[in-house]
Amino acid sequence: MLLTIIYQDEYIVAIDKPSGLLVHRSLLDKHETLFALQLLRDQIGQHVFPVHRLDRPTSGVLVFALSAEIAKNLNEQFAAQTIQKNYLAIVRGHSSVSGEIDYGLKEKLDKIADKMANKDKPAQPAITFYKQLAVFDLPYPVSKYPTARFSLLQLTPKTGRKHQLRRHLAHISHPIICDTTHGDGKYNAFVRQQFEFKQLALTCKSMAINHPVTGEGLVLRCVLNNNFKDLLEKWDISPHQLSKLNTI
């Protein structure tokens, strides 16, 4: 598998991670053989250092440092919440035009990977801002509804809790499409069967960081992936709206 590199210099490299690819080896899937870290290392011929993660089903901008020192700098930016990430998500229902989700999240622990972690931690503060970019009303009955309604949202998380966006959108009753953990099974099945859309409808579209050496602002941006683009075109999104999505 050849990864799409969206930015590279002598200090950092950023890729457009495809949905379904793990960032690094994990106890959660001991049989998996492909990981972004190893694939990128082999592709560019040097060690890379992960500085953040994307869930396996989430696609989009993923940044690696090319030295431990640079990784430390970027980790500090993430910890200080000075890095801005913009996601695109397709969710069930017609959302509000914009809003803030301020809802603390209990840390989600995995039975294997987090076996030794403290299970009694209080909920951690978690904030997500969202903006509605488009709405769709499709003439298909789903569940108890006469039509299938969806919204395309821009999501900007202020914090970075595990599965924050997926859990926050489910909390406001607009779960992300094809989220098999927090989503709506009937809507997921409808989109898979009717439109052959089979990935989580969540992608990290852009990330703004301060370059770890020059200190200049740097926006890392990926193009809208083909699965998203094809689905939105089937739903008759306008060419103007579609082109604007690549500027997010």
Which residues are catalytically annotated? 55
Q: Identify whether the C-beta of residue 11 lies closer than 8 Å to the C-beta of residue 70.
A: yes
Distance of CA 182 to the CA centre of its chain: 14
How many angstroms separate the CA atoms of 98 and 153, rounded?
Answer: 9
